[in-house]
Amino acid sequence: MTLAPGSAVRVRLDWPETRGPVHIRTPWYLRGARGTVVRHLGDFPNPEDLAFARPAERRALYHVLFDQDAIWREDHPGDELLVELYEHWLEPA
């Protein structure tokens, strides 16, 4: 899956921590949230595999922009949150 800038995405609502030892690079508070792809940052070995010395497939890494108020409900309209997320955590919104 290649995501173009401006693509609407949703962070997978998944909790691999409940299935065993893992190394997750996706903040829990973003799971299930909708955002917008800003840019593709390159393809890198999956750190979730590297943490356990497993062979790591290269995965696309993106900057994804979120409306901060939708995440933390702090009533600061216009504030945004920019996060780096790997493609396997993203799905089309």
The mean of the pLDDT values for the chain is 92
Position 74 scores a pLDDT of 76
Q: Is 2.60.120.330 the CATH classification of the domain at 8-92? A: no
Using CA atoms, how far apart are residues 35 and 82, in angstroms rounded to an integer?
9
Per-residue pLDDT reduced to its tens digit, 29-55: 999 999 999 999 999 999 989 999 999
Of residues 26 and 78, which shows the higher confidence score?
A: 26
Position 38 scores a pLDDT of 98
Using CA atoms, how far apart are residues 17 and 22, in angstroms rounded to an integer?
6
Using CA atoms, how far apart are residues 45 and 62, in angstroms rounded to an integer?
14
Domain ranges of the chain: 8-92
